């Protein structure tokens, strides 16, 4: 990539762009101010928060760490994505009572917190009897955010944050890294600021929204972003229009977000007078329990694969966790295929809604592969669906199509990731995401004695499949913390420190 030949002090020069390893002098010659910080985390979302929280518990000072982020608070992007995908703050999320972003120990749990707040034992009974007599108990979003705010105040998160967009991370000759930040316009005297860090942690979430190919082709060809929408982008206009006049909506996908969107459409039918007909397209229809052995069975019915969490519970600390850590290459990719796949929690509420829809004829299922989406008459969009048995093409006209399938775009769609692949020595894992070691070090990017760590969805395909969850981000943070302790950045957290830190947390004292 080339930049302007004219020299702008404080900006990237061609020499910097072209060099994989930078010297202090090269950065200084470009007029980019350098700020030293032993540890920098990039992203400032849930993953950064849980890592910094743990490092503070382990004894790291706020003066040793910087959080470079484009957001105002750590749950901002997560809040945005949940709101778009129909999980408002009063709704319950997917993860369980002890997956607590604000409490590394998981005790007292969310269920205990709710019992205390509501002065009711209902949540505790639910946790006690799940999943046999009740669905898994899960906390309300509002409680998760309130807990994080309290913990952020306690660890003095805010004093470590610097606003801006991280442009790239390059290795430094002599050890460590330069993290280049573009501060918000008008807030700095130069276009870029360089953070010189011994260790860097990357937690930048999802590289982007991914559309199904046929839907992307439709949006690009017909420039129609109104009728064909993704569940992870704002699409409130769909529900508003369907409340005003009867319409038909096509749903693509069969994961938890599809369940949420269906729930919203049916709630609007029940409570707001909408007369929506729902056409649900399943590419793969699950008709019953499935799996490749009696030890690897998953419940399923009516098209859906049911599972409480996105992987079996053993993925976070049981036999699946242990097995995954030992697998390489294709064996690991196959392991992911065996225990993963699209699924949704089996909840009585939305199963009852869908049954009612099937019985009353306003929820219809189509099985097949959508080959094409084209405009129809009177502002309709037509999905052409190829039948799996006959190959015949069936046309499904609708007022809207909601794509509930994809959030994961390719790594390269994120600028920092593309730069790391091209100039940072990073590579891909068996699933095509960022290749990290068991300690979450990005392989190939070592800059002795410095390390670049990455956690979150971009590392899916590594030695731990639960990475893109609260508990997974926390467990990954433990591995990062232990590795940093081995490198002398912090002391190793033993039982005594863990207990004393838990006691401090309970008394709302700083770590």
Ligand X SMILES: Cc1cc2nc3c(=O)[nH]c(=O)nc-3n(C[C@H](O)[C@H](O)[C@H](O)COP(=O)(O)OP(=O)(O)OC[C@H]3O[C@@H](n4cnc5c(N)ncnc54)[C@H](O)[C@@H]3O)c2cc1C
Residue nearest to ligand X (CB): 45
Options 22, 39, 78, 440; binder of ligand X; rule CB under 6 A: 78
Q: C-beta of 315: minimal distance to ligand X in Å?
A: 12
Element (H, E) at 403: strand 400-403
Distance CA 21, CA 1 (A): 16
Classify residue 447 by its DSSP letter.
Answer: B
State the Cα–Cα distance between residues 31 and 12, nearest whole angstrom: 9
Instruction: State the nearest-atom distance from the C-beta of 204 to ligand X, in Å.
Output: 4
Nearer to ligand X, 194 or 382 (CB): 194
As to burial, measured by CB atoms within 10 angstroms (0-12 exposed, 13-18 middle, 19+ buried), residue 378 is: exposed
- Contact stretch for ligand X (CB under 6 A) within 172-180, 240-248, 391-399, 464-472: 464-472
Q: Would you say 248 or 307 has its CB closer to ligand X? A: 307
Decide whether 320 or 368 has the Cβ nearer to ligand X: 320
Q: Does 407 participate in binding ligand X (rule CB under 6 A)?
A: yes
Buried b / exposed e across 332-365, counting CB within 10 Å, b at 16+?
A: bbebbeebbbbbbbbbeebbebbeebeeeebbeb
Instruction: Give yes or no for residue 94 binding ligand X (CB under 6 A).
Output: yes
For 270, residues 6+ apart whose C-beta sits below 8 A from its C-beta are none
In 3-state terms, what secondary structure has residue 10?
coil
Q: Give the position of tokens 């890592």.
A: 51
Binding-residue pattern over the window 54 to 73 for ligand X, x denoting contact by CB under 6 A: --------------xxxx--
Min CB(13)–ligand X separation in Å? 20
Of 13, 95, 97, 276, the one binding ligand X by CB under 6 A: 95
Tell me how crowded residue 24 is: count the other CB atoms within 10 A of its CB.
14
Q: Is 305 helix (H, G, I), strand (E, B) or coil?
A: strand
Q: At what angle do helices 256-272 and 236-244 cross, to 10 degrees?
A: 30
For position 85 contacting ligand X by CB under 6 A, the verdict is yes
Q: Is the peptide bond before 368 cis (omega within 30 degrees of 0)?
A: no
Closest CA to 260 of 368, 374, 138: 138
Question: Applying CB under 6 A, does 399 fall inside the site for ligand X?
Answer: no
Q: Give me the 201-230 binding string for ligand X, x by CB under 6 A, dash otherwise.
A: --xxx-------------------------
According to CB under 6 A, which one of 312, 345, 456, 461 is a site residue for ligand X? 456
d(CA 132, CA 129): 6
45 binds ligand X (CB under 6 A): yes
For ligand X, the closer of residues 405 and 469 by Cβ is 469
Tokens of 20: 């994989």
Please state, in angstroms and rounded to a whole number, the distance separating the CA atoms of residues 449 and 441.
12
User: How many residues bind ligand X, per CB under 6 A?
Assistant: 34
Task: List the one residue out of 322, 349, 327 whose CA is nearest residue 138.
Answer: 349
43 binding ligand X? (CB under 6 A): yes
From candidates 77, 123, 344, 383, binder to ligand X by CB under 6 A: 77
Binding to ligand X in span 469-498, by CB under 6 A: 469-470, 473
How many other CB atoms sit within 10 Å of the CB of residue 89?
Answer: 14
User: Which distant-in-sequence residues (6+ apart) come within 8 Å of 135 by Cβ?
Assistant: 345, 346, 347, 348
CB of 389 to ligand X, least distance (A): 34
Q: How far is the CB of 270 from ligand X (least distance, A)?
A: 23
**The pair of three-digit structure tokens given for residue 35, joined into one six-digit string:** 């700020």
Taking residues 413 to 452 in sequence order and writing x for each that binds ligand X by CB under 6 A, - otherwise, the string is: ---x------------------------------------
Among 13, 22, 47, 262, binds ligand X (CB under 6 A): 47
Q: Residue 210 Cβ, how far from ligand X at the closest point, in Å? A: 12
Cα dihedral 461, 466, 468, 472 in deg (nearest 10): -130
Closest CA to 414 of 447, 454, 471, 450: 454
Smallest distance, ligand X to C-beta of residue 274, A? 23
To ligand X, the closest distance from the beta carbon of 161 in angstroms equals 11
Residue 132's Cβ-count burial label (10 Å; 0-12, 13-18, 19+) is exposed
46 near ligand X (CB under 6 A): yes
Least Cβ distance, residue 165 to ligand X (angstroms):
5
To ligand X, the closest distance from the beta carbon of 164 in angstroms equals 7
Task: Closer to ligand X by CB, 211 or 366: give it.
Answer: 211
Query: Per-residue x/- mask for ligand X, residues 148 to 187, rule CB under 6 A?
Result: -----------------xx---------------------
472's enclosing H/E stretch is helix 470-486
Binding of ligand X by 258 (CB under 6 A): no
Question: Which residues form the interface with ligand X (CB under 6 A)?
Answer: 42-48, 68-71, 76-78, 81-82, 85, 93-95, 99, 165-166, 203-205, 407, 416, 456-457, 468-470, 473
């Amino acid at each position: 990539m080339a930049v302007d030949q004219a020299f702008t002090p404080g900006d990237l020069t061609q020499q910097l762009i072209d060099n994989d390893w930078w010297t202090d002098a090269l950065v200084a010659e470009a007029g980019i101010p350098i700020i030293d910080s032993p540890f920098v985390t990039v992203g400032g979302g849930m993953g950064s928060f849980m890592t910094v929280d743990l490092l503070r518990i382990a004894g790291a000072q706020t003066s040793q760490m910087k959080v470079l982020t484009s957001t105002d608070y750590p749950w901002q992007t997560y809040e945005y994505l949940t709101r778009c995908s129909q999980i408002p703050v009063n709704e319950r999320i997917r993860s369980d009572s002890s997956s607590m972003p604000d409490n590394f120990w998981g005790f007292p749990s969310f269920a205990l917190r709710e019992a205390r707040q509501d002065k009711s034992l209902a949540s505790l009974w639910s946790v006690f009897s799940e999943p046999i007599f009740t669905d898994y108990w899960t906390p309300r979003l509002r409680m998760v955010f309130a807990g994080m705010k309290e913990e952020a105040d306690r660890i003095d998160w805010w004093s470590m944050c610097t606003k801006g967009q991280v442009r790239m991370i390059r290795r430094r000759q002599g050890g460590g890294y330069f993290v280049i930040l573009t501060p918000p316009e008008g807030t700095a005297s130069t276009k870029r600021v360089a953070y010189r860090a011994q260790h860097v942690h990357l937690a930048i979430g999802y590289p982007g929204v991914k559309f199904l190919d046929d839907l992307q082709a439709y949006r690009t060809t017909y420039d129609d972003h109104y009728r064909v929408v993704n569940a992870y982008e704002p699409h409130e206009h769909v529900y508003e229009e369907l409340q005003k006049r009867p319409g038909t909506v096509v749903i693509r996908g069969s994961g938890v977000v599809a369940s949420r969107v269906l729930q919203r459409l049916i709630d609007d039918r029940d409570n707001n007078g909408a007369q929506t007909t729902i056409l649900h397209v399943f590419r793969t229809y699950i008709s019953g329990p499935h799996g490749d052995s009696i030890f690897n069975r998953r419940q399923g019915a009516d098209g859906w694969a049911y599972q409480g969490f996105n992987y079996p519970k053993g993925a976070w600390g049981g036999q699946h966790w242990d097995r995954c850590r030992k697998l390489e290459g294709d064996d690991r990719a196959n392991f992911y295929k065996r225990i993963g796949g699209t699924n949704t929690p089996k909840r009585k509420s939305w199963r009852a809604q869908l049954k009612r829809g099937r019985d009353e004829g306003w929820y219809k299922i189509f099985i097949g592969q959508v080959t094409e989406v084209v405009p129809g008459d009177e502002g309709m969009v037509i999905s052409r669906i190829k039948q799996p048995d006959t190959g015949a093409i069936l046309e499904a006209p609708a007022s809207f199509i909601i794509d509930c399938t994809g959030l994961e775009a390719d790594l390269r769609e994120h600028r920092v990731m593309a730069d790391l692949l091209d100039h940072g020595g990073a590579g891909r894992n068996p699933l095509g995401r960022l290749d990290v070691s068991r300690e979450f070090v990005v392989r190939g990017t070592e800059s002795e004695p410095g390390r670049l760590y990455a956690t979150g969805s971009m590392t899916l395909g590594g030695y731990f499949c639960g990475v893109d969850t609260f508990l997974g981000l926390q467990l990954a943070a433990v591995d990062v913390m232990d590795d940093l302790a081995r490198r002398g950045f912090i002391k190793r957290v033993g039982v005594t420190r863990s207990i004393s830190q838990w006691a401090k947390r309970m008394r709302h004292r700083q770590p």
